[in-house]
Structure 1
Amino acid sequence: MTATKGLEGIVATTSSISSIIDGILTYRGIDIDELAENATFEEVVFLLWFGKLPTQVELDKLQSDLNASSTIPQPVIDQMKTYPKDANSMSALRTAVSSLALYDPEAGDMSKEANVRKAIRLQAQLPAVVAAFYRIREGKEPIASKGYPSIAANFLYMMTGNEPDAIAIEALDKALVLHADHELNASTFAARVTVATLSDMYSGVTSAIGALKGPLHGGANEAVMAMLEEIGGPTQVDSYINNKLNNKEKIMGFGHRVYKNGDPRAKHLQKMSKQLGQLTGDISWYEMSIHIEELVTGQKGLKPNVDFYSASCYTSLGIPRDLFTPIFAISRASGWTAHILEQYDNNRLIRPRAEYTGLSNQHYIPMEDR
Structure 2
Amino acid sequence: MPRVLRFLVFVSLLGCLGQAGAQVSAPLRVGVPNNAPNLFINQQGQADGIQIALLREIASAERWTLEFVPCEWTACVDLLAEGRIDLLPDVAWSEERARVFAFHRVPAVHSWSQVYARSGSGIRALPDLKGKRIAVLSSSIQAQTLPGILAGYGAQAVLMPSASLERAFSLVADGEADAVAANHFFGDHEAARQDLVATGVVFNPSRVYYAALPGRQQAVLDAIDRHLTAWRADPNSVYFATLRQWQTDGAVRTVPSNLWWALAAAVGLLLSSLAVASWLRTEVAARTRELRENEEKLTTILDSVESLIYIKDTQSRYQYVNGAMCRMLERPAAAIVGQDDEALFGVVQARMARAG
With the shorter chain as reference, the TM-score category is under 0.3
**Structure exhibiting the larger radius of gyration computed from Cα positions:** 2
> 1 or 2, which has the higher helix percentage?
1
